[in-house]
Structure 1
Amino acid sequence: MHNRFVIEAVMLAIYGHLLSPAKPVEYVIPSSTIHELDDILRSGDPVMPEPEDDKYVKEAIGKLIAFFEQPFYAKKISGSLLAPWRTSPPLPINEKVSITVIYAVDSAQYGEAFDPVETELILTCSKQRAPLLTDQIDLIGRMLEAEVPVMIVDIEDFEYVLEAGTEPYPENDTLY
């Protein structure tokens, strides 16, 4: 079982435990969510409700930005930005975690029910045949209501899903 999940870059900063999973994991991250990291820091708006937590998460976001800006990784990522749906090679964070950056493109396939980043996440899940890992209850609800054909994993259930080793998309199964 290859443990792959589609996730927004900021979730890795907010949920630090995702960087030290029990089993090897590959996170697929749309490039637009990496660009959002700078916007989050520059906005000055709190990311977390508690000031101490907010400070910690913003420091983690800064470290994640620094990771992506390292010359070796920046070159690998820029290569993925040459064509829509192209991916970078897996970028190792540590011995159990790697990140693959994908140049996702919002096709407005899901109309006004989802914003462009949400649409990119959904389409990335479909194209990569990987579940979405998120904490956004509202997004999960809207995806279920719209019957979006992707597997959704709440971050609270991440360790369970990782340990269960379920295969979300069998090789010969179609999503549509």
Structure 2
Amino acid sequence: MSTIFVTEAVMLAIYGQLLTPPRPVEYIIPYTTILELYELSSSDEPLMHTPADDQHVRTKINELIHYFEEPLNKKKIDKALQTPWAKSPSIPVGERTVVIVMNAIDHAPYGELFDPVETELLAAAARLSVPLLTDQYELIQRMISAEVPVQVFDIDDFDFALDDDAAQV
């Protein structure tokens, strides 16, 4: 039995513990969050508070980009991009973790309160009835205020989220 979360690709680069969970985990990531990896990689703006942490995260982002560009993984991702809401076959990223890339679509119900990537994350989580995993406190607060019908977990609560029945499939 796997635990399933919708999250952004960058979360896998920033938070190493997501790739080494104590039990099997499946991450659904909207394709646009992979595109964000390229933007973050080439950005001059610091991603982290200290230069050492910033360099480490940039290295991890570049490793994830290269991994997704490997021929078999790229083929799996390209397959998902053929149809809206299609999901790629599983892409293993750790001993107990797989990523499934979803061709999510930004759509109106969340478009006014949330940016396009946030909207895709929310729409994917709602569509699949699985929790969203994020480190963005402001996003969580806006979700609560807007009464978005999606369960959300802060990254700091990852271990608790693994034990939550709603995330089990």
The answer to whether the superposition gives a TM-score over 0.5 is yes
CA contact (8 A) 1:88 1:101 kept: yes
SS in 1 for 2:27: strand
User: Does residue 8 of the first structure (1) align with residue 8 of the second (2)?
Assistant: yes
CA contact (8 A) 2:2 2:23 kept: no
Query: Aligned letter for 1:128?
Result: L
Post-superposition shift, 1:104?
0.5
CA distance in 2, matches of 1:169, 1:63: 28
Name the structure 2 match of 1:144.
144
Q: Percent identity?
A: 49
Two-structure CA RMSD over aligned residues (Å): 1.4
Name the structure 1 match of 2:122.
122
CA distance in 2, matches of 1:111, 1:20: 33
Name the structure 1 match of 2:100.
100
Post-superposition shift, 1:112?
1.7
Post-superposition shift, 1:111?
3.4
Q: Which runs of 5+ in 2 are unaligned?
A: none
CA distance in 2, matches of 1:29, 1:69: 15
Name the structure 2 match of 1:167.
165
Name the structure 1 match of 2:66.
66
CA distance in 2, matches of 1:103, 1:120: 9
TM-score, with length taken from structure 2: 0.96
1:35-67 CA distances to partner (integer Å, 9 max, x unpaired)? Answer: 110111112211111111000000000000011
Query: Aligned letter for 1:137?
Result: Y
Quickly say closer, same or farther: Cα 1:111–1:32, change in 2 above 3 A: closer
Quickly say closer, same or farther: Cα 1:88–1:52, change in 2 above 3 A: same
Post-superposition shift, 1:170?
9.1
Query: Runs ≥4 in structure 1, deviation > 4 angstroms?
Result: none
Query: Aligned letter for 2:29?
Result: I
CA distance in 1, matches of 2:168, 2:29: 22
Q: Which runs of 5+ in 1 are unaligned?
A: 172-176
CA contact (8 A) 2:91 2:100 kept: yes
Q: How many residues align?
A: 169
